[in-house]
Amino acid sequence: MNYVKKLSLLLVVALVVVLFSFSVYAQEYGGTFVFGRGGDSVGLDPIQVTDGESFKVTQQVYDTVVMFKPGTTEVIPGLAKDWEVSEDGKTWTFHLREGVEFHDGNPVNAEAIKWNFERWGYEDHPYHIGGEFTYYAYMFQDFPGVIKEVNAVDEYTVEFVLENPQGPFLNNLAMVSFGIASPEAVKKWGEDYFKHPVGSGPFKFVEWKQGDRVVLEANEDYWDGRPYLDKVIFRSIPDNGARYMELRSGSIDMMDYINPEDVQSVEENDDLDLILRPSFNVGYFAMHQDFEPFDNVLVRKAFAHAINKEALIGAFYAGLAEPAKNPLPPSIWGYNDEIEDYPYDLEKAKELLAEAGYPDGFEFDFYYMPVPRPYFPQPKMIAQAVQYYLSEIGVTANLLSYDWGTYLDKYYDDQFQTYILGWTGDNGDPDNFLYVLLDQTQNNCGYESEELHEILIEAQKSVDKEERVALYEEAQEIIHEDVPWVPIAHSTPPLVKKTMVKNYIPNPTSTEKLHRVWLDD
């Protein structure tokens, strides 16, 4: 290596070090961060709500026993600093951080956590009021479901005894729904607790002007260090276009859900950054095997070859998505990247159709959702495009739809020959996609595979993560071969922020804590 090269290398290294130290040391305390979003929160008691706008706020106010590592669905310590699980997978013991307090000054200890779980899980608990506790019943399968008992072993040790081992248990505990509330505050407010949230999170609740804004302030004593921001304000600005103009006029610092046609102007604006949230969803085209000819795997494979996913993403997602080859989005551990997608190939598709005995095609019903969802932002147009692709191989799809409630009703009733639908994850565990959507006891596309079922059940019972990863990778291979659906896309929801907003790391699970975000004035 000659001197010039060495010198330039040294320079580069020095530059990197300087830049890096800047980014570390320039972090500033103070400031108010205003986030513009599409709707108001429904409520601020995380166990009672199911909407993202509520979770955005409760994520700041509450802590969970364990939590997600920023930007991933990996579980890291939260209120518990470490934990262990018994060999049979039925007893989990968590060791809590000491000295953590709720915003009302009460201690976060084993008793408080036990009290929260009992409030959620026991229908005869005096404070099992104020809502339906939907996500508890959903994730732990009924009241009290999988969790047999919660014991406060000592002040800072809490033990969960399960009915049977639950692989996704740890991921469940990290969900924003299971934010630990101050028992005293819940008792004080009763049915109205959802308007007076008290947790131990990085920001304290200040006020909620319904339909307008929620104001939070820094928790000076947060266990993970005082937040950089003094205040966080979530404003409801329902219209995407108006929200973007608020951002341009400077009255908000960040927003989500931008109109696809505004994406370009963000990219051209030096004061704004577009960042993409890692995908946590899948939009798919399903073929119901109770109906002919979709019981024939060759037909399903032909369809997989006939749909041009890249083009769909370019046209209907403004490019803000990635083509799907698995039911799992890549942000979730266990994603099998070895699988090769069926390439877009009309000749191959026609061959497969002929081989299946349909050289002249056939006609069938194709249902699309009436409402946009994150995974299908423009369902009708996407369905029309798919209809067109399929016409290219000689099959005729009759496009049909219903209102959303009826649509779901008929979907669960197995009435659709083919349809588009999708799923957004809950707990970042592969089980939450693969078992929920495709196991033979669960799916609504007439797909039966005993082999897959056994793998999914085994993975559900295991608490050994490596073993589970291997099982889920195998499961994805089986699904790939059987083609119950054509997975279409994993959308990556866009966020737009001013460049002065630093260190905002979007999490796939749709919400993230903001105590590490700072403003560079």
Partner 1 sequence: MTSYIIKRLIALIPVIIGVALVVFLIIHLIPGDPAQTMLGERATVEAIEQLRESMGLNEPLYIQFISFFKGLLSGDLGRSVMSNNPVLNEISVRFPATLELSFCAMIFAVGVGIPAGIFAATHQNSFFDNASMLIALVGVSMPIFWLGLMLIWLFAVILGWLPPSSRLSVGVELDYITNILLVDSIIQLNWDAFKDVFSHLILPSVALGTIPLAIIARMTRSSMLEVLKQDYIRTAYSKGLQDRIVVYKHALKNAFIPIITVVGLQFGVLLGGAVLTETIFSWPGLGKYLVDAIYARDFPVVQGGILFFAIAFVLVNLLVDISYAAIDPRIEYK
Question: Min. distance of Cβ 473 from partner 1 in angstroms?
Answer: 25
Closest distance of CB 413 from partner 1, Å: 8
Q: In terms of CB distance, is 138 or 257 closer to partner 1? A: 138
Identify which of residues 43 and 201 has a Cβ nearer to partner 1 in the complex: 43
Among 416, 426, 308, CA closest to 369: 416
Buried b / exposed e over 312-331, threshold 16 CB at 10 Å, is: bbeebbbebbbbbbbbbbbb
- CA gap 12, 172 in Å, rounded: 44
Q: Which is nearer to partner 1, 6 or 209 (CB)?
A: 209
262 lies in the site for partner 1, by CB under 8 A: no
Query: Which residue, 272 or 393, has its beta carbon nearer to partner 1?
Result: 272
Name which position in 53, 63, 217, 246 contacts partner 1 (CB under 8 A).
Answer: 246
Region from 88-96, 109-117, 343-351, 405-413 binding partner 1, contact rule CB under 8 A: 405-413
Pick from 8, 21, 164, 210 the residue near partner 1 by CB under 8 A. 210
* Comparison of 239 and 451: residue with beta carbon closer to partner 1: 239
Q: Are 420 and 284 in contact (CB under 8 A)?
A: yes
Single out the residue of 148, 248, 380, 465 in contact with partner 1 (rule: CB under 8 A): 248
Exactly one of 47, 186, 233, 304 binds partner 1 (CB under 8 A); which one?
A: 233
Whether residue 216 contacts residue 61, with contact meaning beta carbons closer than 8 Å, is answered with yes
- Size of interface with partner 1, in residues (CB under 8 A): 48
Interface residues for partner 1 in 35-64 (CB under 8 A)?
A: 39-40, 42-43, 48-50
Asked if 400 is part of the footprint of partner 1 (rule: CB under 8 A), the reply reads no
- Of 160 and 447, CB closest to partner 1: 447
Assign 3-state DSSP to the chain and report helix, strand, coil percentages, each to 5. Answer: 35, 20, 45
Residues 6+ apart with CB under 8 A from 78: 63, 64, 65, 66, 67, 174
Give CA angle at 304 (300, 307), nearest 5°. 130
Map the footprint of partner 1 across residues 130-149, applying CB under 8 A: 130-132, 134, 137-138
Q: Which residues pair with 216 in a beta bridge?
A: 205, 232
Q: Provide the β-strand partners of residue 233.
A: 34, 215
Measure the CA–CA gap between 465 and 215, rounded to whole angstroms: 39
Classified as helix, coil or strand, 8 is helix
Query: Nearest 5°: CA angle at 455, between 446 and 279?
Result: 75
CB 33 within 8 A of CB 231: yes
Place of tokens 């041009």: 308
**Residue 446 CB partners (closer than 8 Å, separation 6+):** 288, 289, 290, 291, 294, 295, 414
**Binding status of residue 122 toward partner 1 by CB under 8 A:** no
Among residues 1, 5, 211, 521, the one that binds partner 1 under rule CB under 8 A? 211
Going by C-beta distance under 8 Å and a sequence separation of 6 or more, which residues neighbour residue 226?
29, 218, 219, 220, 515
Residue 478 binds to partner 1 (criterion: CB under 8 A): no
Is residue 454 involved in binding partner 1 (CB under 8 A)? no
Regarding 272 and contact with partner 1 (CB under 8 A), the answer is no
Contact status: 237 vs partner 1 (CB under 8 A): yes
Q: With respect to partner 1, which residue has the nearer C-beta, 138 or 291?
A: 138
One of 88, 292, 337, 403 touching partner 1 (CB under 8 A): 403
Rounded distance between C-alpha atoms, residue 139 and residue 178, angstroms? 10
Shortest distance in whole angstroms from residue 337 CB to partner 1: 25
Q: How far apart are CA 199 and CA 182, in angstroms?
A: 6
Site for partner 1 in 159-188 (CB under 8 A): none
Q: What residues from 422 to 451 belong to the interface with partner 1 (CB under 8 A)? A: 422-424
Q: Token digits for 74?
A: 């990996």
DSSP string, 128-153: --SS--HHHHHHTTSSSTTEEEEEEE
Q: Which residues contact 496 (CB under 8 A, 6 or more apart)?
A: 244, 247, 254, 255, 256, 258, 266, 272, 273, 274, 275
Name which of 119 and 235 has its Cβ closer to partner 1: 235
Q: Which is nearer to partner 1, 32 or 151 (CB)?
A: 32
- Smallest gap from residue 422 Cβ to partner 1 (A): 7
Stretch that binds partner 1, among 162-170, 260-268, 399-407, 504-512 (CB under 8 A): 399-407
* The only residue of 68, 127, 178, 194 in contact with partner 1, by rule CB under 8 A: 194
The residue ranges that bind partner 1 (CB under 8 A) are 32, 34, 39-40, 42-43, 48-50, 130-132, 134, 137-138, 191, 194-195, 209-213, 233, 235-239, 241-242, 245-246, 248-249, 251, 373, 403-406, 408-409, 412, 421-424
